[in-house]
């Protein structure tokens, strides 16, 4: 396995009724800015639980953070936090609210234009402390150091990674996910699945611990995902998905192994251009990405075929193709479309995504940096 340094300092507080733990986690003297999305937390009781737990604090609010959070919206929160002397952020929502809050945490004390944090990877000297209440298991953002922010005006969806914005704690109460629309349940399962694949389906480096963990997460998502759709009231299933999605991108399974992320880079461009939900963009790209690169990923694809889908690796190419077909069928079982034409997109979308990739210098992607623009074009054409 490769060298690595690993520390995940986010405290995970898991279980029903655990939002009340905010009282112990947030310092009494803090002036808190509570950030949230379009209002789902006001319908499902999460907002009231948070307010009750923070009774002793001065709490300000910033709602309206949209899916694929925008710089334009978030700068409103930055202005509010600066004007009111906020010294603690609490993100209450899914990946978008948490990512947006990470940007706000870094932007408030930032001297200069905060967009440079994304566009120029400007160094971050300090950030406000951040805690979160997760309402949508999917991204793993609640206990990692990454965030993806969109600048609508220029159609840029860019990411940054910084330990200073890693949440101090994350409350994972599966009860709060019962109000998710089925589409978001599906999105969460597919996003987490692809996170594992991006870190697992590369090339072998003799890292059996990471491989077995990754396979365990994939199998859990394959088993529990359809159950969450079939039994929408089953809170145990929701809890298992919440924990799996967290572990899929909390850094653990990515330690000491090569990582791909090409599917995510193409997906981000599809989202910024066409508004396709993040997870859905990945389901469009991944099967073709694996098919086109099956030589470079051969050993791990055979392992995936055998251990995740129960296929015989002696069947070689047939096992690989069947495993990819089963992956696609799993996405479809989760009611997630797998072709661009499902979104009425054709060749013009292929050109547009490639232009964006070029603009963002995404022309050497993947674990071997061998995914050229031409290959990305082929992947998109195969996804039509």
Cβ contact 340:231 at 8 Å: no
Q: Taking the complex as a whole, how short is the minimal distance between the CB of residue 375 and ligand NZQ, in angstroms?
A: 21
Among Zn ion, ligand NZQ, none, partner that 93 touches (CB below 5 to 8 angstroms by kind): ligand NZQ
Q: What angle do CA 252, 271, 321 make, to 5 degrees?
A: 65
Our finding on whether 173 is near Zn ion (CB under 5 A) is no
Measured CA distances, 112 to 18, 115, 124 (Å)? 38, 9, 11
Q: What angle do CA 234, 34, 183 make, to 5 degrees?
A: 35
Looking at the Cβ atoms of 272 and 302, the one nearer to Zn ion is 272
Looking at the Cβ atoms of 198 and 211, the one nearer to Zn ion is 198
Q: Taking the complex as a whole, how short is the minimal distance between the CB of residue 234 and ligand NZQ, in angstroms?
A: 15
Looking at the Cβ atoms of 179 and 335, the one nearer to ligand NZQ is 179
Looking at the Cβ atoms of 191 and 277, the one nearer to Zn ion is 191
Looking at the Cβ atoms of 183 and 307, the one nearer to ligand NZQ is 183
Q: Taking the complex as a whole, how short is the minimal distance between the CB of residue 5 and ligand NZQ, in angstroms?
A: 19
Segment contacting Zn ion (CB under 5 A): 185-193, 214-222, 288-296, 329-337?
185-193
Give the DSSP H or E segment for 58.
Answer: strand 58-62
Looking at the Cβ atoms of 33 and 302, the one nearer to ligand NZQ is 33
Q: Taking the complex as a whole, how short is the minimal distance between the CB of residue 181 and ligand NZQ, in angstroms?
A: 6
Residue 332 φ then ψ, to 5°: -65, -35
Our finding on whether 277 is near Zn ion (CB under 5 A) is no
Among Zn ion, ligand NZQ, none, partner that 138 touches (CB below 5 to 8 angstroms by kind): ligand NZQ
Q: Taking the complex as a whole, how short is the minimal distance between the CB of residue 94 and Zn ion, in angstroms?
A: 12
Among Zn ion, ligand NZQ, none, partner that 140 touches (CB below 5 to 8 angstroms by kind): ligand NZQ
Binding site for ligand NZQ (CB under 6 A): 37-41, 44, 67-68, 93-97, 99, 135-136, 138-141, 144, 146-148, 176-177, 179-180, 184, 187, 191, 249, 264, 278
Looking at the Cβ atoms of 148 and 353, the one nearer to ligand NZQ is 148
Among Zn ion, ligand NZQ, none, partner that 249 touches (CB below 5 to 8 angstroms by kind): ligand NZQ
Query: Which candidate, 117, 74, 111, places its Cα nearest to that of 96?
Result: 74
Query: Residue with CB nearest ligand NZQ?
Result: 37
Alpha helix (H) ranges present in the chain? 22-25, 40-43, 46-53, 71-84, 95-107, 116-119, 182-200, 208-230, 235-248, 262-274, 278-292, 298-307, 317-333, 347-359, 373-382
Looking at the Cβ atoms of 46 and 302, the one nearer to ligand NZQ is 46
Measured CA distances, 126 to 107, 110, 113, 123, 149 (Å)? 9, 8, 15, 9, 19
Question: Considering only residues 99, 156, 173, 191, which one is a binding residue for Zn ion as defined by CB under 5 A?
Answer: 191
Cβ contact 176:135 at 8 Å: yes
Q: Taking the complex as a whole, how short is the minimal distance between the CB of residue 143 and Zn ion, in angstroms?
A: 15
Q: Which long-range contacts (CB under 8 A, 24 or more apart) does 349-352 make?
A: 349/270, 349/273, 349/274, 349/380, 350/377, 350/380, 350/381, 350/384, 352/273
- Gyration radius of the chain over CA positions: 20
Using CB under 5 A as the criterion, which residues of the chain lie in contact with Zn ion when the complex forms?
191
């Amino acid at each position: 396995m490769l060298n690595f340094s690993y520390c995940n300092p986010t405290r995970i507080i898991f279980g029903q009724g655990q939002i009340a733990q905010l009282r112990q986690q947030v310092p009494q003297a803090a002036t808190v800015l509570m950030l949230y999305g379009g209002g789902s937390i006001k319908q499902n009781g999460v907002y009231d639980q948070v307010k009750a737990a923070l009774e002793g604090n001065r709490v300000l609010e910033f709602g309206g953070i949209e899916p694929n959070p925008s710089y334009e919206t978030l700068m409103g929160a930055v202005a509010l936090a600066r004007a009111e002397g906020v010294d603690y952020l609490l993100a209450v929502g899914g990946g978008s609210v948490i990512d947006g809050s990470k940007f706000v945490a870094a932007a408030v004390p930032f001297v200069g234009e905060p967009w440079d944090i994304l566009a120029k990877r400007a160094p971050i000297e300090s950030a406000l402390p951040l805690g979160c209440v997760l309402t949508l298991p999917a991204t793993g953002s609640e206990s990692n150091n990454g965030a993806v922010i969109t600048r609508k005006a220029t159609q840029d969806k860019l990411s940054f990674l910084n330990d200073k914005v890693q949440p101090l704690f994350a409350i994972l109460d599966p009860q709060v996910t019962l109000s998710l629309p089925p589409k978001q349940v599906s999105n969460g399962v597919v996003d987490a699945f692809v996170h594992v694949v991006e870190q697992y389906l590369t090339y072998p480096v003799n890292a059996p611990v990471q491989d077995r963990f990754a396979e365990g997460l994939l199998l859990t998502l394959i088993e529990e995902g359809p159950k969450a759709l079939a039994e929408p009231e089953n809170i145990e299933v929701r809890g298992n998905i919440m924990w799996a999605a967290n572990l899929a991108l909390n850094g653990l399974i990515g330690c000491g192994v090569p990582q791909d992320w090409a599917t995510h880079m193409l997906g981000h461009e599809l989202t910024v251009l066409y508004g396709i939900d993040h997870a859905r963009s990945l389901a469009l790209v991944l099967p073709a990405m694996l098919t086109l690169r099956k030589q470079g990923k051969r050993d791990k694809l055979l392992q995936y075929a055998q251990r995740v889908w129960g296929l015989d690796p002696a069947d070689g190419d047939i096992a690989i193709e069947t495993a990819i077909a089963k992956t696609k069928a799993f996405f479809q079982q989760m009611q997630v479309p797998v072709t661009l034409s499902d979104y009425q997109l054709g060749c013009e979308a292929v050109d547009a995504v490639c232009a964006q990739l070029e603009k963002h210098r995404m022309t050497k992607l993947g674990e071997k940096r061998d995914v050229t623009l031409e290959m990305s074009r082929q992947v998109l054409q195969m996804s039509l």
